[in-house]
Structure 1
Amino acid sequence: MRAVLAVVCVAGIAYVLRRPLLMAAPQCLAGRWHGCYDTENGVLLMMLLGLPVAGLVVWALATARRRRAGGAGTAWRLSLAEVGMVYGTVPFVWITMMPGPGAGVVPGRVSLVPLRDLATMGPLGIAGNLLIFAALGFFAPMRFALVASVPRVLALGAGCSVLVEVAQYVLQLDRVSSVDDVLVNAAGAALAGLASRRWWRSGEGIEHRAEQVAG
């Protein structure tokens, strides 16, 4: 049932974004870097197209774990969490790290006043910032018992966001390193963690079982 719901959600997102995604389709399908991997539409399109491959990786990892340990439920949970938090995070971080037109020329800019930039983000900007570490917040507590609490998921999202903002500033990507980005990114991770709480709340000992599987 959960798999069907996930497929429906992905299909709904693809339908809503079909027009901008199709704009990058010719360049992506032709294997061109410019116009595909250096655009938000192209990265999202390739992310959607790569979902079957990600599913195969989950299946391969779960099958290998199940053969060694015999625990089908744990094997699938660990494998899905590992692939999900990487596959659902890297593309959004890639988009965030895309350089602006003045990259390398315009000095790094910092905004440290909380909530000042929030009003200028707009609904789409806020939604995008919520999604950047949502997969990490959703899946990390399912994989690592150490972060299986809302404050820790919040701290994880905030820490990763700070690293991204610092990188944007140091690399002079013509982006504003804003404290509001950190706040919204961390909130997105925490909200996603709450959404997956039913699967990690009673999952104490996952880390110990994972070590047994690896051994």
Structure 2
Amino acid sequence: MEQAWHTWGYVVIAAVSAVPAAVLAAFLLARRRGRAGHPAPWRTAAADVGALAGTAPWIWMILTPGTAQGVNLVPLVDLARQVGQMPPGAAFVQVGGNLLVLAALGALLPVRSARLASLPAVAGVAAAASSAVELLQYGLRLGRVSSVDDVLLNTAGAVLAALVTRRWWARR
């Protein structure tokens, strides 16, 4: 646990410190949209800022240089290795973390836009975003493993989060 805090503590501190700025940004954005006659200024401003603020720290963590470069393109091989060979706590953190990477985006995207208020739309956006992050990890040679399983877990996390917020989705 101490190693995890040493590695990621600054991301947590920055994310928590950014909350007041995010609240202010949502307020100012909603006010501006309201003046412009936007039909749902508060809802869309909160969803936009929440999706960004809830996703950015995870992306920062993912794009932080690591120590193991690789590519895994065979589905579920990485996941099976993590669950089968890692200590249970480490496997839980790996799988749970990947499920949370795009959870804020998945939860708030359909709240933000009626056009994206479906599980296939959320899955498509999440898969594209996750694929872009994995390609960046590989292309920037960050010493990280780029894996199709990460894309699958990130996408699944976004879809599960969208299911949680289904009652608040934008009306069609």
Q: TM-score, normalised by structure 2?
A: 0.86
1:148 maps to which residue?
A: 117
Whole-angstrom CA distance in 2 between matches of 1:140 and 1:20: 34
Deviation (angstroms), 1:137: 0.6
Question: CA–CA distance in 2 between the matches of 1:84 and 1:20?
Answer: 29
Aligned residue number for residue 155 of structure 2: 186
Percent of residue pairs identical: 43
Name the Cα RMSD after superposition. 2.2
Q: Which amino acid aligns with 2:78?
A: D
Q: CA deviation at 1:20?
A: 7.9
Q: Which residues in structure 2 correspond to 1:1-150 (within 5 Å)?
A: 39-69=7-37, 74-101=40-67, 108-119=69-80, 120=82, 122-150=91-119
* 1:191-206 equivalence runs, <5 A: 191-200=160-169, 203-204=171-172
Match of 1:165 among 134, 137, 140: 134
Deviations 1:135-175 (A, max 9, x none): 11111112222211001101111111111111111111111
The structure 1 segments of at least 4 consecutive aligned residues displaced by more than 6 Å after TM superposition are none
Q: Runs of 5+ in structure 2 lacking a partner?
A: 84-90
Deviations 1:59-99, CA, capped at 9 Å, x for gaps: 1111222233285xx11101001101111111111110111
Q: Which is bigger in relative contact order (C-alpha 8 A, separation at least 6)?
A: 2
Contact 1:85 1:136 in 2 (8 A): yes
Separation in structure 2 between the aligned mates of residue 133 and residue 192 of structure 1, nearest angstrom: 9
Determine if contact 1:111/1:178 at 8 Å carries over to the other structure.
yes
Ranges in structure 1 where 5+ consecutive residues have no aligned partner: 1-16, 25-38, 103-107, 205-215
Secondary structure in 2 aligned to 1:114?
coil
Q: Tell me the amino acid that sits aligned with residue 72 of structure 2.
A: S
